[in-house]
Amino acid sequence: MEVIREIAPLRGRIKEIKGENMSIGFVPTMGFLHEGHLSLMRKAREENDYLVISIFVNPLQFGVGEDYEEYPRDLERDKELAASVGCDLIFSPPVKEMYPRGYSSFVEVERLTERLCGASRPGHFRGVTTVVTKLFNLISPDRAYFGQKDAQQAIIIQKMIQDLNMDLELVILPTVREEDGLAMSSRNKYLTPYQREQALLIYKALQKAQENIEVGEKNTERIRESIREIILQGEEAVIDYIEIVDTYEFQPLSILQGSCLIAVAVKLGEVRLIDNIMVEV
Amino acid sequence: MEVIREIAPLRGRIKEIKGENMSIGFVPTMGFLHEGHLSLMRKAREENDYLVISIFVNPLQFGVGEDYEEYPRDLERDKELAASVGCDLIFSPPVKEMYPRGYSSFVEVERLTERLCGASRPGHFRGVTTVVTKLFNLISPDRAYFGQKDAQQAIIIQKMIQDLNMDLELVILPTVREEDGLAMSSRNKYLTPYQREQALLIYKALQKAQENIEVGEKNTERIRESIREIILQGEEAVIDYIEIVDTYEFQPLSILQGSCLIAVAVKLGEVRLIDNIMVEV
């Protein structure tokens, strides 16, 4: 496995790989890899001849006052984990390599980016779509892998690929959870033991919603209320949003219908956690 | 030469060409081809194994009240001209193929797009960079060819390619002029004979500026004044802008220095004409 930090040698290696007609699978990450990332990488390993991952904490997708500086980083550990699942190449550029002085080009997906996390984090998805476009252009993957945990991100990137006629396949894989159900996230490590306990209520609330839906509940106001009640059993929990929307336009639904996304964002102290389930009604 | 109107068969053909390791030259146009386009196509023909042009009047780059509907179109004539310079493929999609219902992704270059034509035509360059990104993704050219006549457009696209790490070479070729010096443009055909006479003053004014600069003039206010005087000899001429800027950031210069762009936009009746010269001081 090789680690490349600059664009020129990356391009060189990718040209070689393409020249040998090998398919490229790509997993973009911000590092501090966990089982969620590894599940994407294993699938990408299986489905492609060559596996590239990127490790880049992208400043453009963090807002003022967010945790860009504090976001956990550990390249040595990440290298070992990536090698353990058969990664061929890690692209891990410094910020200057991605955004040199005078940088001024951006990719934006309208509407879909305005709701849910987009409403709480203005500019966040613009940072995501911009960096992902750059990485796609640099790596020219045949397939890129994203987790269902960031459902809105995955749907926005799918829309961008389609709208801008990017020539690759997006693969979205299920959220990987800790044994007790908490969605894996690099940010979980910042939870105190007591917050960690409270965080579990997020998944509990989503499971309860799923149960209610399975026995016929369709009223989204009641579903949201039940989610809210469970999450707020956590003393420190501050709810950012609980939204029930269609998965095409993220329009809020009053009655469940079709393909629905139930998504929540909760703050526990300084740590913002998201989770979601999708239901077909 | 083949004409393709839809994305799926275009992708198929491009994959074949790439599979044979042929290099692709690409000339994006809005059709109604003239010698300016043909000069780009000849160069692209010379430098690449396979020549693709697009003919697409891009609604996204026209503002409200601009000439989208009136923009001249003549695909039959364009086909003959393209074939005459050895074009292999024309991609000429209907609007719905490029912007289906619900379309919502855009590429934007900040700052460079705010001045000159960007100030007069808000959203224009966002339309240009978006459609050019789509076409680059569809055609994956090794080289794309643009005319110096749209100097700001060329510089913005160069910036976008660099910022977003697009993997192709931009080739910018000199403005092609009528025998009397008027810059070729598909819009020239809408000039009345009297407007056509007045339009010539634009190039005369730029030539005069060049002469003044050659004998040592560096004061941009005086250069602009001399350009203004000459253009306004045309009774119907309404000046949109006369700008003298550096070619990197389009910052206005008070004294000529380095690589400078002298750009003008003039309306004659309903027809908006642009022209420019570059000078190295």
Give tens-digit pLDDT for A208-227.
999 999 999 999 999 999 99
- Of B248, B220, B24, B244, the C-alpha closest to B136 is B24
* Burial degree of A281 (CB within 10 A; 0-12, 13-18, 19+): exposed
Model confidence band, residue B12 (pLDDT cutoffs 50, 70, 90):
very high
| Chain A interface includes B137 (CB < 8 A) | yes
pLDDT tens track for B38-69: 999 999 999 999 999 999 999 999 998 899 99
Question: Nearest CA of chain A to the CA of B103: how many Å?
Answer: 6
Closest-CA distance of chain B to residue A19, Å: 9
Distance of CA B207 to the CA centre of its chain: 21
Per the DSSP assignment, residues forming a β-bridge with A2 are A89
Q: What's the angle, vertex CA A123, arms to CA A120 and CA A127, rounded to 5?
A: 125
Give the pLDDT band of residue A189 (cuts 50, 70, 90): very high
- Provide mean pLDDT across the span A187-195: 96
Q: Does B129 reach chain A within 8 Å, measured CB to CB? A: yes
ipTM for the complex shown: 0.95
Residue A102 identity (one-letter amino acid): G
d(CA A118, CA A180): 29
Q: What is the pLDDT confidence band of residue B138, given thresholds at 50, 70 and 90?
A: very high
Mark which residues 197-216 of A lie under 8 Å from B by CB. Answer: none
CATH class assigned to A186-275: alpha beta
- State whether the Cα torsion A192-A195-A199-A204 is positive or negative: positive
Q: Mention the CATH class of domain B2-173.
A: alpha beta
Does A20 lie at the interface with B, CB-CB under 8 angstroms?
Answer: no
Nearest Cα residue to A36 out of A253, A137, A187: A187
Q: Would the CB atoms of A165 and B106 count as touching at under 8 Å?
A: no
B105–A contact, CB cutoff 8 A: yes
Nearest-CA distance B119 → chain A (Å)? 17
Which of A102, A112, A137 lies nearest to residue B164, judging by beta carbons?
A: A137
B-interface mutation test, from A56, A109, A131, A165, most B Cβ less than 10 A away: A165
Confidence band of B187 (pLDDT split at 50, 70, 90)? very high
The encoded tokens of residue B102 equal 């619900």
pLDDT at A133: 98
- A4 to chain B, any CB pair closer than 8 A? The answer is no
Per-domain boundaries in chain B: 2-173, 186-276
Closest chain B C-alpha to A201 CA, distance in angstroms:
36
Give me the active site residues of A, please: 37
Nearest-Cα residue of chain B relative to residue A21: B19
Superfamily grouping for domain B186-276: Pantoate-beta-alanine ligase, C-terminal domain (3.30.1300.10)
Query: Could you read off the pLDDT of A98-146 as tens digits, one per residue?
Result: 999 999 999 999 999 999 999 999 999 999 999 999 999 999 999 999 9
**Closest Cβ–Cβ partner in B11, B104, B112 for A104:** B112
pLDDT, mean of residues A179-183: 97
Q: Looking at beta carbons, which residues of chain A come within 8 Å of B103? A: 163
What pairing do the DSSP bridges indicate for beta strands A271-280 and A259-268?
Answer: antiparallel
Beta bridge partners of B279: B260
Residue of chain B whose Cα is closest to the Cα of A134: B164
pLDDT of A138: 98
pLDDT score for A230: 98
Per-residue pLDDT, averaged over B123-136, amounts to: 97
Judge: A165–B137 Cβ closer than 8 Å, yes or no. Answer: yes
User: Could you list the active site residues of B?
Assistant: 37
pLDDT band for position A10 (50/70/90)?
very high
Start-to-end Cα distance in chain B: 45
